[in-house]
Structure 1
């Protein structure tokens, strides 16, 4: 599942499964995609909630790693 704010130009995607992969992307591609692994479903919902509440700077400050986590 994913959530996107087209006006602000970013999205966060979450993938169910044992990896707990989440991806944070800038639609303007100022920087490449970022990812984290090991997120629980509850953690993923917290990320979505932060985006919905306009707390993108807080999401951005999390310890993201470069790329899609291939």
Structure 2
């Protein structure tokens, strides 16, 4: 599942399998996408809510790791 705001230039993708992978992409950043593992479905919904409400600074402050989590 994913959501994107093309105007603002960001997207978040979530993979609710056993791994709980989440990828946060800011299309204007040169740092590359960060990811997190171990997110629950409820946590993913909270993350989507933050993104949809435009709380991107709060999303950026989460404990992301560099890359796609491969």
Q: State the TM-score, normalized to the length of structure 1.
A: 0.95
Aligned partner of 2:36 in structure 1 is 36
Q: Could you tell me how far apart the structure 1 residues matched to 2:28 and 2:11 are?
A: 11
Structure 1 runs of 4+ with >3 Å offset: none
Q: State the TM-score, normalized to the length of structure 2.
A: 0.95
Aligned residue pairs, count? 70
List per-residue Cα deviations over 1:7-40 (Å, max 9, x = no partner): 1111110002110000001112422010000000
Task: Name structure 1 gaps, 5 residues minimum.
Answer: none
Alpha-carbon RMSD across the aligned residues, in angstroms, is 0.8
**1:1-70 superposed matches below 5 A:** 1-70=1-70
Task: Name structure 2 gaps, 5 residues minimum.
Answer: none
Q: Could you tell me how far apart the structure 1 residues matched to 2:57 and 2:23 are?
A: 15
